[in-house]
Every structure is written in structure tokens, then in C-alpha cells.
Structure 1
Amino acid sequence: MAPPRAALAQSESKARFFERLGLREDDELHRRIYAMMKEEAVESRRRLTEDPEALLPELRDTVIEPPYSHAHVTETAIHREILRIYQLARPETRRVYDLGRDVERVEEENWVIRWMLWHVFRYRDNRNRNRRQMSSNANSPEDDDYGDDNASPAPALGKTPTSVTSNGGTSRYWDPVRDG
């Protein structure tokens, strides 16, 4: 059976994602469900970025160390995590995931979970790359990109969050996954 809602490109915005799923960003319940979906995707990303078996075959015998980026992880490992997220989903998030579930393919697919996971990877990978350039202290709490995803409240529209780096300077970044 094809998914009840047509797939949305991974690169589409959160606003389009909400629209496609029939969710409203001004609805507190919808925002909470989105936050739960984000938590599930963040946990999945953590598993993928720490598992050497998730690495592309050509990278397995190299000196690359966790956390791995999206570009380092096999499609098979990502697909396995999509199915795992669905299987372990809370009832509230499962209802939304069902809107993107496609079981007509040879391999089951879920565009909603794939979109969430891609966005978590995209923004975390980019932010980590910037952090490595700014700080040489890899054990800084600022480098823990998959801790409490609700740690920083969403800023007022038009404002950029500010964080303190390990060297005492400030860094300005916008993370739609964390702050959106």
C-alpha cells in the first residue's frame, strides 16, 4: 500500500513537512509530536554515528573515528534505522509515521522518518564541522550534539541563538532541528 501522504523531498523545509502531514506549527500538540519524532531521530543518529558496522565498506579499515557523518554511513544502515524507529515509535509518533509508510516496495520505506533522520544528520553534521574549526577541546559539552535536544529554547523569530564555546568566545548558529 502506498503511503497515505505523498513523499516530500528530504531537502524540503519544516514548514512544508508540517503542511504535507496536515500538522500546524501553531498547535502545541503538533509541536510536541514533532519534538518526540525529533528525539527518536536524534537517538537513531547517535546509534548510527557510533556503530562501525554502519560505515561504508571502504571506510571500515581506516582511521575514521565516531561520530560518523551521514556521508560515512551506508544506505543499508540508514534503512535499518528507519525500520527500527518505526518499530520502537511511541503511539503518538507512530500515527504520524504511518502517513509516510510504504509497504508496496520490495523493502518497506518511510519518507517521514527518512526526512526527520536526514534533517537531524544534516544540521548536526554541519554544526559539528564548524565546532571542530572553532575549538580544539573535543570533550567540551558544546560538542555533545545529541544530548537533550530541548536544552535551548527556541529563539524569538529573527534572533540567532548564541552559545559559549570552550575557548570562552561566542558562536552564533541556527539549528532548525534543535531550535525549530
Structure 2
Amino acid sequence: MWAVGAAAVMLASGSVSPMTTAAADPEPPPVVETPAPPVQHNVLYRARADGTSRGAVVAYKQDDQNVNSAQPTMLPGQTFEVNTVLTDPKLAGMQISIQWPYGSNLHCEILVDDQIVAQADQFIAPRFFRVKDDPLYGTLQCGAPLDIPVPGTDGSAPTAEAVQAEAPAT
């Protein structure tokens, strides 16, 4: 026992050095600089319908790649607002649409970092029949296009299979 105590005293006094490695430590790895994350911009979308407008749909650029939509109840005087974050503020865009036969004054605004970058107003007249030659009737686009495909606007006629697929089963 006294040998263990003597060894501990010698280690504490520094007369015996602890084991060291023969080879020196290698050079530390080079510091890799990670790129700074891209600057994010706060985007605020505002939509308003002043009039009778049922079935409203507000589509907006949620992030740099995705489009999101909402179906708010848009009563006169109420404003629909949604916040998001985009890396490229030039991608900020939204689209407001209402169902026919309703009519309304549609208004939209897009704010990037508290600055208005786009706004639009359009009166949508009430209609008794659906407008066949204008598939975007009842729609207000604001800011960058969302690239949402609209059926029947690709220039091609529907195929017989597509017409049959859309026909209700009897």
C-alpha cells in the first residue's frame, strides 16, 4: 500500500512525468469556412374582396419552391394576411380568385421587408354564365407568376379519354 501512496506523491510533485506519446500531435485540420446562410426576406401577402365573393381562393408563394393556398371567408372590409419568408424577393407572388356568378372588387398587396413591391386592383363583374374563352376570369394576379397550371390553357384539345374520365358515372 505504501508503494501506491509513494507513486501518487511522486506524480503530484512532478518528479515522475506521465506517459507521453512519442509522436507529436499532427497539425490541426484546416478551418473550413461554411458559407453564410442566404439572406431571408420577410414577405407579407394581403388580399381583400370588397363585394359578394363566395369560394375565394388565395394562392401565394410560400417559399422559394412551393405555392400554398387558403380559402378565407372574404367579407367586405376584411383583409386576409399571411406572412412567409423568401430568399429571393422577386419570387413573391399571389393570385386571388372568386367563384362565378359572384362579383367583387379584388385588391392585393405584397410587402417585402415592410416595403410595398406589388399591388393590384380589379373589378370582377357578376356573371350568369361561366366565361369559356377566359379561364382566368374572376382571378387577380399580383407580383411574380405562380406557374399554376390552368386546365384547358395549354393549347391542346382534350382527348376523348380525358372527356370520358371527367364525365359523371351513371
TM-score, with structure 2 as normaliser? 0.24
Question: Who wins on radius of gyration, i.e. which is larger?
Answer: 2
- Which is helix-richer, 1 or 2? 1
- Which is strand-richer, 1 or 2? 2
- Highest RCO, 1 vs 2 (Cα 8 Å, sep ≥ 6): 1
